[in-house]
Amino acid sequence: MWCHFKAKIKKITYKLIYGKKLKIGKGTTWRNEFHVAIENGGTVEIGENCFFNNGCSLNALEFIKIGDGTIFGSNSHVYDHNHVVKDVGQSIKSQGYTCKETVIGKHCWIGTNVVITKGVHIGDNCTIGAGVVVREDVESGSVVK
């Protein structure tokens, strides 16, 4: 016995944890397991026509901005904060965070498994290659690999 189905099944999962402010521009889309975590009065602004592939996250305690038309490969993560590590005798969790705005320009391509750390400014029309950890500013039109 043969069974034939004609069905389109698509499961989209995402998690939005937002406190103070979240702005998502027109035409922006995402795939499975997209997470936006905004806490402690942080803000996230996502431009128009952006795309987030599977497993991406935006994590804001202060401010993250993504420019229009920027696309993200799978499992890429953006942060505007990092843990404070001053006293090895205390747990890292209890020492708080340092925060600084993170801005990604327009029409950038952020590859698979990229991590963008706090305080980074990436100019317009940049390509960030797969697996890169971005720790410093990137000029417009640059390719980082």
pLDDT digit string, tens, across residues 30-80:
999 999 999 888 999 999 999 999 999 999 999 999 999 999 999 999 999
Burial 101-139 (b: 16+ CB within 10 A, else e): bbbbbbbbbbbbbbbbbbbbbbbbbbebeeebebeeebe
Domains in the chain, CATH or no CATH each: 14-144 (2.160.10.10)
Please say if the pLDDT value at position 13 is more than 60: no
| pLDDT on residue 21 | 84
Of 9-23, 96-110, 113-127, the poorest mean pLDDT is in 9-23
